[in-house]
Structure 1
Amino acid sequence: MKEYQTITEISGPLVFAEVDEPVGYDEIVEIETDDGRTLRGQVLESSKGVVAIQVFEGTGGIDRNASVRFLGETMKMPVTEDLLGRVLDGSGQPIDGGPEIVPESREDIVGEAINPYSREYPEEFIQTGVSGIDGMNTLVRGQKLPIFSGSGLPHNDLALQIARQASVPEEEEGDDDEGSEFAVIFGAMGITAEEANEFMDDFERTGALERSVVFMNLADDPAVERTVTPRLALTTAEYLAFEKDYHVLVILTDITNYCEALREIGAAREEVPGRRGYPGYMYTDLAQLYERAGRIEGKEGSVTQIPILTMPGDDDTHPIPDLTGYITEGQIVMDRDLNSQGIEPPINVLPSLSRLMDDGIGEGLTRGDHADVSDQMYAAYAEGEDLRDLVNIVGREALSELDNKYLDFADRFETEFVQQGYDTNRSIDDTIELGWDLLSELPKESLNRIDEDLIEEHYREDEAEAAEVSAD
C-alpha cells in the first residue's frame, strides 16, 4: 500500500492527486488530514500520472499536505441476514445505536449483471394493499415499477404504505417458492431530517422495521455519498434474495436527488453536459441500478424495485422520468388534481402502466376475473373522464342516461376505489369485489370487456337498482 502527499487540486467533491503507478477505477481511497481525520473516497477517473477521487464525506478540511492511500480494492458492502431491522447511513454505517455489523460476506457494490439466459420471466403477483396499484397496475416479482410524483405530493406516504403492507400472497400448492420470506430494503437519498424522522417513526410504530433494512442519506450529507447509497441497498437486496431466498422489495427515494448528485459531480469534473446539464451517461448509470431487479433461474428469491422520482415542474419529458420510463416496465403516476381533492393516495390510473401486469394476474395467480374487471374499469373511467370535458360545455342535462352513469362511475371510482387512505390494507379480493360494486352501477350490456359467465356470477343487481333509483 503506497501513500502519497501529491494532491494537486481540490474541486467541489473531487480531489486530484499525482501517482506513479496504475490505479484501478472505483478503487477505495483513504485520505488522512492534518487534524487526524481519515476520510474515505473512491477513484472516479484514472489516467496516466493523475487520478480524480470523489470523497464521500466531502472535501472540507483537506489541503495539499493530506496523505492519500489507495487500498487496492473496490467498495464492498458487509452483508448478513442480521441486517434486517437495522438502520444505516448512506455509506452503510450503522446509525441506530446497535452493535457493529458482523458480516457473513463482503460483496462488491457494483454487482454483476444478471445473465439474460439465466433470468426468469417475472409473472408472480406482489400485493401492496393499494387498490390503484394491485387492481389496475399490478406489481410483479422481479419487476421495476417506478412512481412518478411531483414536488409537494405525498409520495413518501405511499412509499411507507407499500413498505409496511407489501406481501407475497400464499403460494399455490406445490409452488417452488413456498416458504420464501419477504423483506423490504428502503434507500432514502437526499431527504430532509424531518422526512427521515417521519420515515423512522412510521417504521417503528408499525413494526415494519423488523423485516426491513433502511439506508438514510440526508440532504446535508455529501452528494457523492448519494451515488453510493442505492448500490449499497441493491447489493444487500441481492444477497438476501439470491443467497437467503427472500423476496425483496427495494424502494428508492428520491431518484431525482440521485441524478442531481450525478450532475454536480459531472460539473466538478468539467464534463461536457448532456440534456439540461445532466451527464450524457445518465441513461447508462440509471440502467445499472434498475436492471439489478429480477429473478434468476434456480434461485427462489427475487428483487423487485419501486424507484420514486419527483418530476421537476411536473414535466414527464424531463430527462429523469424520460430515461426512467425507457428502462423500467411502466410507471405509477401521482396526480396533483386528485391530491387537491383529498384523494389518498392520488394515483391517476390512466397514464399509469404496468407492462408485466397481464403476466401476473389471472386464473391461478390472483383471481380469474381480475384482468376483465381491470380492463372494464379502465374503459369506463376513461369514458367518464372524456365526458367531464363535455359536461363543461353542454351540461349534464344534455347527456344521455348512460353517459350520466359513466360520470357517476368516474366519481365513485376516484372516491371509493382509488381513495382508501394510507392506513388501509386491501387484499386483492377486496379490491376486485369493490370493482364489481362499481361496475354493477353500469348496465350489463355496457360491460363489453368481461366474459358473460363472470357477469352472471358477480354482477350485483341490487347495485344496478340502487343506481336507477339514484338517477330518478
Structure 2
Amino acid sequence: MKEYQTITEISGPLVFVEIDEPIGYDEIVEIETPNGDVRRGQVLEATSDHVAIQVFEGTEGIDRKSSVRFLGETLKMPVTEDLLGRVLDGSGQPIDGGPDIVPDSREDIVGAAINPTAREYPEEFIQTGVSAIDGMNTLVRGQKLPIFSASGLPHNDLALQIARQATVPEDAAEEGGSEFAVVFGAMGITAEEANEFMEDFERTGALERSVVFMNLADDPAVERTITPRLALTTAEYLAFEKDYHVLVILTDMTNYCEALREIGAAREEVPGRRGYPGYMYTDLATLYERAGRIEGRDGSVTQIPILTMPGDDDTHPIPDLTGYITEGQIYVDRDLNSQGIQPPIQVLPSLSRLMDDGIGEGLTREDHADVSDQMYAAYAEGEDLRDLVNIVGREALDERDNRFLDFADRFEEEFVDQGFNTNRDIEETLDIGWDLLSMFPKAELNRIDEDLIEKYYQESESETVEAPADD
C-alpha cells in the first residue's frame, strides 16, 4: 500500500497527486482528510509522475495535508444471493438498516467481456404486463431495450410497473430452473422520487426479488459513474452464478452522461458534440453490452435503460448514441400523456429489433406477429388520416377512412391505455388486439394469415360505419 501527502491540485470531483512510483489505472484510493474523514476514489488517469483521482464522496474537506493511500486493487462489488431484498446507495453501501452484507465473492465492477462466440442469441419472451410493449415491441431475455422519455413524463411510473410485473412464462422458468429477479439502479434522482420508488417496491412486495441501488441528486455526481456498474456486476453474478433471469432497469441515463460531462470538464478534456466527452459512445457501450446470455448458463441479463431526452430531441447525443448500441427503443409520448393515456407509449417510432425471434407458437402465441403487424399498419394509416382531417375535415372522408380513424382512437384508448396498475398477460393483450381488428372486414386484414383469421376473427357488432350525412 503506497501513501502520499503530495496533493497538487483539487478541481471539482478530481484530486491530482504527485507520485514517484507507477500507479495502475482504475486503482482504488483512500483519501484521509486532516479531521480523520476517509473518502474513496479511483484513479482516472496516470502518468509517470502524476495521477488524477475521481473522488466518489466529493472533495469537500480535502486539502493538501490530506493523505492519499493507493490500495493496489480495482473497485469490487461484494456479491451474494442475499442482496435480493436489499437497498444500497450509489456506491454499494446498505442504507436499509438491514444486517451487514457477508459476500460470497468480490467481483470487479468493470466486468468481464462476454466472448462473442459464447453468446446465445436472445429469443425467449419476457412478459412486462404492458400491452404496448408485449404486443407491439416485445422484450426478450438478453436484450437491451431503452425507454426514450422526456422531462415531466411518467417514465418512473412505467419503470416501477415493469419492475413489479415483469416475469418469464412459467413453462420457460420450469424448463431452465431459473427464477426472475430485478436489479434497479437509480442515478441522480430526487429524494421525493426515491421515496416513491421505495414505497412502491415495499407496497407491492417487489422488493423481495429486487436489488435496489439509489444515487440521489445531492450525492456527488462522480458516484453516478459507478452506480450502473455496481448494479450490472450484481446482475451478472445473479444471472451467471445463481441462474436467475435478471432484468436491469437503469434510470436516468441522462444523469449518468451529465456526470461524464462534468468529469470531462474538470479534466479539461477537449469536448465532443454538445460538450459531452468524445468517448461517451464507448463508455455507454461498456454498460449496454453487459446484457446477454451465455452458452451453458441458464441465467440471463436483460437491460431497460431509461433516459430523458433534453428538449424532447431524439437527435441529442445521449439518445442518439444509445440507439446505435441497443436493440430498439420505446418512446414515451408527450401528446398521449396530455390525453391521459397511461402509459403514454407511442408505438409507431418504437421498435424492438429482436421481437420477431421472441414471439410465435411456443413462445407467446401463433398469431402474435400477424396481429402486431396488422395493428401497426392500421394505426399508422389512422395517424396519417388524422393529419388529413385537420385540413379537409372528417366529412370529406369515405367510410373506409372513417373506420381507420375510429381504430386509431380505440387503439389508444383500449390497447395502449391500461393504467400503471393493470397487469395484462400476453393472451389478454392479443385478445384485445383481435377485438379492435374486428372493426374491419376480413378483406382488410391483409397482413394476417387466413387460417388465423378463421380461428380468431370475431364479427364486429357494428360491421359497417355509417357514412357522414351530407349537409
Could you say which TM-score interval applies, normalised by the shorter chain?
over 0.9
Q: State the 1:171 CA deviation.
A: 2.2
How do 1:229-308 and structure 2 match up within 5 A? 229-308=227-306
> In structure 1, what residue type is equivalent to 2:164?
R
Q: Is the contact between residue 176 and residue 300 of structure 1 (CA under 8 Å) also seen in structure 2?
A: no
In structure 1, distance between residues paired with 2:175 and 2:271:
46
Unaligned runs of 5+ in 1: none
- Residue number in structure 1 paired with 2:59: 59
- Residue number in structure 2 paired with 1:213: 211
Q: State the 1:103 CA deviation.
A: 0.1
- Residue number in structure 2 paired with 1:354: 352
Q: State the 1:200 CA deviation.
A: 0.2
In structure 2, distance between residues paired with 1:331 and 1:314:
15
Q: State the 1:395 CA deviation.
A: 1.3
In structure 2, distance between residues paired with 1:251 and 1:453:
39
How do 1:153-168 and structure 2 match up within 5 A? 153-168=153-168
Q: State the 1:20 CA deviation.
A: 0.7
**TM-score between the two structures when normalised by the length of structure 1:** 0.98
- Residue number in structure 1 paired with 2:310: 312
- Residue number in structure 2 paired with 1:410: 408
How do 1:374-393 and structure 2 match up within 5 A? 374-393=372-391
- Residue number in structure 2 paired with 1:32: 32
In structure 2, distance between residues paired with 1:12 and 1:140:
41
- Residue number in structure 1 paired with 2:424: 426
Q: State the 1:176 CA deviation.
A: 8.1
- Residue number in structure 1 paired with 2:464: 468
| Per-residue Cα deviation, 1:120-177 (whole angstroms, up to 9, x for no partner) | 00000000000000000000000000000000000000000000000001225xx884
- Residue number in structure 2 paired with 1:178: 176
Q: Find out whether 1:42 has 2:9 as its counterpart.
A: no
Q: Is the contact between residue 43 and residue 52 of structure 2 (CA under 8 Å) also seen in structure 1?
A: yes
Q: State the 1:470 CA deviation.
A: 7.0
- Residue number in structure 1 paired with 2:439: 441
Q: State the 1:469 CA deviation.
A: 6.6
In structure 2, distance between residues paired with 1:44 and 1:386:
51
> In structure 1, what residue type is equivalent to 2:77?
M
SS of residue paired to 2:464: helix
| Per-residue Cα deviation, 1:83-102 (whole angstroms, up to 9, x for no partner) | 00000000000000001100
Query: Relative to structure 2, which stretch is displaced further, 389-398 or 444-453?
Result: 389-398
- Residue number in structure 1 paired with 2:90: 90
Q: State the 1:2 CA deviation.
A: 1.8
Q: State the 1:7 CA deviation.
A: 0.3
Q: Find out whether 1:117 has 2:117 as its counterpart.
A: yes
Q: Is the contact between residue 344 and residue 420 of structure 1 (CA under 8 Å) also seen in structure 2?
A: yes
In structure 2, distance between residues paired with 1:88 and 1:390:
53
How do 1:388-403 and structure 2 match up within 5 A? 388-403=386-401
In structure 2, distance between residues paired with 1:390 and 1:233:
48
Q: Is the contact between residue 56 and residue 224 of structure 1 (CA under 8 Å) also seen in structure 2?
A: yes
- Residue number in structure 2 paired with 1:363: 361
Q: State the 1:363 CA deviation.
A: 1.4
In structure 1, distance between residues paired with 2:96 and 2:464:
58
Q: State the 1:119 CA deviation.
A: 0.2
Equivalent residue in structure 1 for 2:223, among 219, 222, 225: 225
Q: Residue 281 and residue 126 in structure 1: after superposition, are their counterparts in 2 closer, same or farther (change >3 A)?
A: same
Q: State the 1:467 CA deviation.
A: 4.6
In structure 2, distance between residues paired with 1:107 and 1:381:
48
> In structure 2, what residue type is equivalent to 1:164?
R
SS of residue paired to 1:450: coil
SS of residue paired to 2:30: strand
SS of residue paired to 1:320: helix
Query: Relative to structure 2, which stretch is displaced further, 452-461 or 433-442?
Result: 452-461
Identity of aligned residues (%): 85
> In structure 2, what residue type is equivalent to 1:251?
I
Q: State the 1:471 CA deviation.
A: 6.6
> In structure 1, what residue type is equivalent to 2:157?
D
In structure 2, distance between residues paired with 1:68 and 1:177:
52
SS of residue paired to 1:468: coil
Q: Find out whether 1:189 has 2:162 as its counterpart.
A: no
> In structure 1, what residue type is equivalent to 2:219?
D
| Per-residue Cα deviation, 1:56-113 (whole angstroms, up to 9, x for no partner) | 0000000000000000000000000000000000000000000110000000000011
Q: RMSD value over aligned CA atoms?
A: 1.1
Q: Number of matched residues?
A: 468
Q: State the 1:393 CA deviation.
A: 1.3
Q: Is the contact between residue 334 and residue 347 of structure 1 (CA under 8 Å) also seen in structure 2?
A: yes
In structure 2, distance between residues paired with 1:430 and 1:210:
27
SS of residue paired to 1:183: strand
Unaligned runs of 5+ in 2: none
Q: Is the contact between residue 143 and residue 329 of structure 1 (CA under 8 Å) also seen in structure 2?
A: yes
Q: Find out whether 1:141 has 2:141 as its counterpart.
A: yes
> In structure 1, what residue type is equivalent to 2:400?
L
**TM-score between the two structures when normalised by the length of structure 2:** 0.98
Q: State the 1:198 CA deviation.
A: 0.3
In structure 1, distance between residues paired with 2:113 and 2:458:
50
Q: Is the contact between residue 177 and residue 300 of structure 1 (CA under 8 Å) also seen in structure 2?
A: no
SS of residue paired to 1:251: strand
In structure 2, distance between residues paired with 1:242 and 1:466:
53
Query: Relative to structure 2, which stretch is displaced further, 155-164 or 395-404?
Result: 395-404
Moved over 6 A (4+): 469-472
Q: State the 1:468 CA deviation.
A: 2.8
| Per-residue Cα deviation, 1:287-316 (whole angstroms, up to 9, x for no partner) | 000000000000000000000000000000
| Per-residue Cα deviation, 1:326-347 (whole angstroms, up to 9, x for no partner) | 0000000010000000000000
Q: State the 1:466 CA deviation.
A: 2.3
In structure 1, distance between residues paired with 2:323 and 2:269:
25
Q: State the 1:398 CA deviation.
A: 1.2
In structure 1, distance between residues paired with 2:291 and 2:194:
25
> In structure 1, what residue type is equivalent to 2:178?
S
SS of residue paired to 1:15: strand
